[in-house]
Amino acid sequence: MQHLREIDIHELLTERKQIAVIWSIEDVQEVRPDLDEEECWQVLELVSYRHDANDGISWLTLELAAQSLFDAAPETDTAVEA
């Protein structure tokens, strides 16, 4: 059996003279804390599939992708009762 070594993504990119910006489930949860990990992964997959190099990926991109998959985020009650 071949020994598998852990891949250092930064080292690999450096060797290839490439860069990459990495977005994670935790990033999606920053804009949509109501989503679970699987739903966040679906958002990341959609963003990756629809990626447009002219627009890039931003917090708004994540938020809009989540909204297209799971509707708007639920309202939070921030009103202070008198």
Is 77's pLDDT higher than 90? no
- pLDDT for the residue numbered 19: 95
Q: How many CB atoms lie within 10 A of CB 67?
A: 14
Cα separation of 62 and 44, whole Å? 7
Q: How many CB atoms lie within 10 A of CB 47?
A: 18
Residue ranges per domain, the chain?
24-70
pLDDT tens digits, 19-58: 999 999 999 999 999 999 999 999 999 999 999 999 999 9
In this prediction the pTM is 0.79
